Amino acid sequence: MKALVTGAAGFIGSHAAERLQKGGLQVIGIDNFSDYYEVALKELNAASLQQKGITLQKMDLRQTSDYDNLPTDFDFILHFAAQPGISSTSTFEEYFSNNVIATQNLLEFAHKNKNLKHFFNISTSSVYGLEATFPETVAPKPASWYGVSKLAGEQLVLAESRGKKLKASSLRLFSVYGPRERPEKLYTKLIGCAIKGTKFPLFEGSEEHLRSFTYVGDIVEGVYKAVVQHAELDGEIINLGAEDEHKTQEGIWLVEELLGKKVELEVVPRRPGDQFRTLANIQKAKKLLGYSPTTSLKEGLELQINWYRENFL
């Protein structure tokens, strides 16, 4: 079985590519190595995949001509590539082109794959809005360009399923952390600041935010289970995340405890559209996939600190 993983040089896509290969799939990854964050980090992820025998092609999903270089005999497409996160430096055009246009182009490519069994869209808790504690049946109320553009991409994919054109589903991921986490996200930045003794920019009020921080290994386990169970998932939306919640402040204390160092905080203005609570409701994932995340925040952070030390010190 052959799988195309988009965004395979990124944080979660690279882990997913490895998990699918471990599960016996032949994986081809693609990525445009966007400069949203340091390209060197994506090259590090890409090198790790290539060492494991996973092919990675550079292409931009927005460019229709780039698809000419791809084979068309995929059994599965897993779409991780995106303009991620809520960032004041990302433009509306970047969110729209990478999360909506790119998804539509990929769907058009998907039709050329006559063996295709399932198209998995990777979505986010941000589609729920400022609070993300709900089952999949609740109407989404995104509060950021990121959330709105990811919801639009998700609906493009699900429309293909409703129209019986493709078998497809969407997996909504919650607050993912672990080795290779994007450098502008909480823990990679926090660990770096603690180790280097630099100030950590804390968004005003965010220490009180609640998050179901989910270890990336538990996320890609859920993704793999979904691939295995694909025959029962056409048209479904499924939340994947940890069932316990922690304040961001607790995460800061845990990193300090694990490193034996205090982090100096510098309060910076709050981010518009930032969620104040995420808590994954995974009843459906449990029922359909037998999904059950197992990694505690402390265990996951230890692994992320080890990764940071191995690669950046």
Ligand X SMILES: NC(=O)c1ccc[n+]([C@@H]2O[C@H](COP(=O)([O-])OP(=O)(O)OC[C@H]3O[C@@H](n4cnc5c(N)ncnc54)[C@H](O)[C@@H]3O)[C@@H](O)[C@H]2O)c1
Binding site for ligand X (CB under 6 A): 7, 9-13, 31-34, 36, 42, 60-62, 80-82, 84, 98, 102, 122, 124, 150, 173, 175-176, 182
Q: Which long-range contacts (CB under 8 A, 24 or more apart) does 142-145 make?
A: 143/273, 143/275, 144/86, 144/272, 144/273, 144/274, 145/90, 145/92, 145/95, 145/96, 145/273
Q: Which helix (H) or strand (E) holds 255?
A: helix 248-259
Instruction: Show Cβ contacts of residue 98 under 8 Å, excluding neighbours closer than 6 positions.
Output: 34, 61, 62, 81, 82, 83, 149
Could you give the 3-state DSSP secondary structure of residue 153? helix
Q: Is 290 exposed, middle or buried (0-12, 13-18, 19+ CB in 10 A)?
A: exposed
The label of the residue with tokens 């009180």 reads 208
Q: Choose between 28 and 82: whose C-beta lies nearer to ligand X.
A: 82
Rg for the chain (alpha carbons), in Å?
Answer: 18
Other Cβ atoms less than 10 A from the Cβ of 244: the count is: 14
Q: Choose between 186 and 202: whose C-beta lies nearer to ligand X.
A: 186
224 catalytic per annotation: no
Other Cβ atoms less than 10 A from the Cβ of 292: the count is: 13
Q: Choose between 173 and 191: whose C-beta lies nearer to ligand X.
A: 173
The residue annotated as part of the active site, out of 36, 146, 177, 187, is 146
Q: Choose between 82 and 193: whose C-beta lies nearer to ligand X.
A: 82
Shortest distance, CB of residue 260 to ligand X, whole angstroms? Answer: 27
Cα dihedral 13/179/310/195 (nearest 10):
140
DSSP 234: T
Q: Choose between 124 and 281: whose C-beta lies nearer to ligand X.
A: 124
Shortest distance, CB of residue 109 to ligand X, whole angstroms? Answer: 12
List Cα–Cα distances, 21 to 16, 54, 214, in angstroms: 8, 8, 22
Q: Choose between 77 and 176: whose C-beta lies nearer to ligand X.
A: 176
State how far the Cα of 218 lies from the Cα of 214, in Å rounded to an integer: 7
The label of the residue with tokens 């823990």 reads 187
Q: Choose between 5 and 193: whose C-beta lies nearer to ligand X.
A: 5
Paired strand residues for 238: 171
Q: Catalytic residue numbers?
A: 146
